[in-house]
Structures are given as C-alpha cells and as structure tokens.
Structure 1
Amino acid sequence: MLGSELTILLVYGLYTALVLGAKVTGMMATVDMGYLLSSRDEGRTLEGMLGRLDRAINNSVTAMALFAPPVIVIALRDQSSGASLLAAQVFLICRLIYVPAYMFGIRGVRTLVWFVAFLATLILYFLAL
C-alpha cells in the first residue's frame, strides 16, 4: 500500500485533511456559528485541546510543504530507492504520531517524532539532489 513516496505524500495529505475536519468539527461545538461563517477578521484564540490541535494542523501543513518538493523531484527523476522510501515511511509514521501527541500534550514524544520526521525530510532533500 505504501510502496512509493508519492503514495505516502497522498496519504499524509489525506490524513492532514481529516485532522483539519476534526478541528472544524471541534470548533463547531465550541465557537458560535456566526464567527465560523464570518471572514474571521477578529482573531480568536482556541484553547486547550482544540488550540493544540489547531497548532498541530499548522505544523502539519508546514511539514507537508517541506516534504512534498523532494518527493516530487524523486518521482519526476525516477530516483526512488530503498533509502528514499524508508525516509518517506519514517516521516509518515512520525507525523501520524505527532498530531495526537501534540493534541494530548505529550511533550517528549511530540518533540521526538517532530525531530525524526524533520530529519527524514532533510534526508529526502539530499537524496533528491
């Protein structure tokens, strides 16, 4: 199922979209609909678990923006290798752990998996060069 870096990128994008959907659902339960339907010019701070989920989403989008370029270059150049696939798999596993670790406030785990996923991303850049 996860036999290519592009598939892993797609799975991560879908996961991020599902987490975003969970955040919106949580906002619907805690924030008035008038605010949700507005242009949101006035900023509101989300607190607690919903606030952590919001920050995890922002970090996830940033991680995807960094992860996608080397994956696409590797695919376009047909340079997929065991090392690039492993780096992409490590990235995905770490990012799947990252969101719940952040949401539930598990600090050491959150930081560790963020760091390992970031290293996997850097490895992909070096492999794509």
Structure 2
Amino acid sequence: MEMLPATATVFATLAAWSVVLLVAHILLQGFFATRELGSAWNAGPRDEGRKPEGVLAGRAGRASANLRETYPAFPALCLALAVTGDPSGWGLIGAYVWFAARIIYLPLYLAGIPYIRSLVWLGSLAGLAAMFLSVVL
C-alpha cells in the first residue's frame, strides 16, 4: 500500500477540523436564537415566521452565513492539494491562514469590531488564493 505524503494528511486533517468550525458556527447561531426565542420555537416548525432580532443572534447568523459563502472552496482546495501535492508549500500556508482567519473572524464579528474583522476576512481570502494558485501553477 502506498503511503500518502505528509502534506496530504495535513490537508485532510485541516479539512476535518474545518467541519468542526462549521458546526461551531451553526451551534452558536442556534444557541443565540434559542436563547432569544425559546426552546419551543427551536423545536417547532417555525411556521409563524418569527426570526431572532437580538444583536448576538443576528451577528452569529451573519457570521455563519459569511463562512458558508466561502466554505465549499476550502475542502475542495484541500482535496486538490492532497491529490496533486504542494511542492511550494504555499498551499499549506494558505490553508493554515484560512483556518486561523476563520477562527479569529467569529469572535471579532460577535464583538462587533469593524475594520479588523474585514482585514481578517481578507486574510482568509488570501489563504484561499494561495491554495488555489498552488493547485493551478
């Protein structure tokens, strides 16, 4: 049986941990919405159209939506780099940058910190760009 390169294992591990990050976003959003509207709302069909209006529920929801906008690119690029290799190492650096930036982004968004949050978001895009360039170049 042929062994995978060490970087392929790292990309697989980062992709797996990114799922934990995604689930954390979803759970946090649900937590703040449930805290505001109650467990009966959360457990019910939500047919009445009520939406959480509180600051933290709104921020958690928007941060989660923001993650989900670019999230599909991350595991796809991890897979591509695991398969094709990453001889320059920039793909792995990009993956770590994306992952760290997405972790940092959440508390910045929840705290309502502007500008720095936007810079961190740009950093996550730069990480994806480094990954993409490592695949195609």
Q: What is the TM-score normalised by the length of structure 2?
A: 0.81
Rounded to whole Å, the distance in 2 between the matches of 1:119 and 1:37 is 39
Rounded to whole Å, the distance in 1 between the matches of 2:57 and 2:69 is 19
Rounded to whole Å, the distance in 2 between the matches of 1:53 and 1:46 is 11
Rounded to whole Å, the distance in 1 between the matches of 2:80 and 2:46 is 37
Question: Which residue of structure 1 lines up, in the alignment, with residue 3 of structure 2?
Answer: none
Query: Residues 29 and 43 from structure 1, CA distance in 2 versus in 1: closer, same or farther, beyond 3 angstroms?
Result: closer
Q: For residues 1-129 of structure 1, what are the structure 2 equivalents within 5 Å?
A: 4-41=10-47, 42=49, 44-77=51-84, 79-81=85-87, 82-129=89-136
Q: Is the 8 A contact 2:105 2:117 kept in 1?
A: yes
Unmatched 5+ residue regions in structure 1? none
Rounded to whole Å, the distance in 2 between the matches of 1:71 and 1:109 is 26
Identity of aligned residues (%): 20
**Alignment deviations for residues 48-97 of structure 1 (CA, whole Å, 9 cap, x no partner):** 022101110111122211212111111122x1342111110111111110
Rounded to whole Å, the distance in 1 between the matches of 2:107 and 2:78 is 25
Unmatched 5+ residue regions in structure 2? 1-6
Q: Which runs of 4+ in 1 moved over 6 A?
A: none
RMSD (CA atoms): 2.0
Q: Is the 8 A contact 1:94 1:117 kept in 2?
A: yes
Equivalent residue letter for 1:96: I
Stretch deviating more after TM superposition (108-117 or 3-12): 3-12
**Alignment deviations for residues 82-125 of structure 1 (CA, whole Å, 9 cap, x no partner):** 21111101111111100110111011111001001111102211
Query: Residues 126 and 103 from structure 1, CA distance in 2 versus in 1: closer, same or farther, beyond 3 angstroms?
Result: same
Equivalent residue letter for 2:109: Y
Rounded to whole Å, the distance in 2 between the matches of 1:80 and 1:39 is 46
Rounded to whole Å, the distance in 2 between the matches of 1:54 and 1:30 is 13
Q: What is the TM-score normalised by the length of structure 1?
A: 0.86
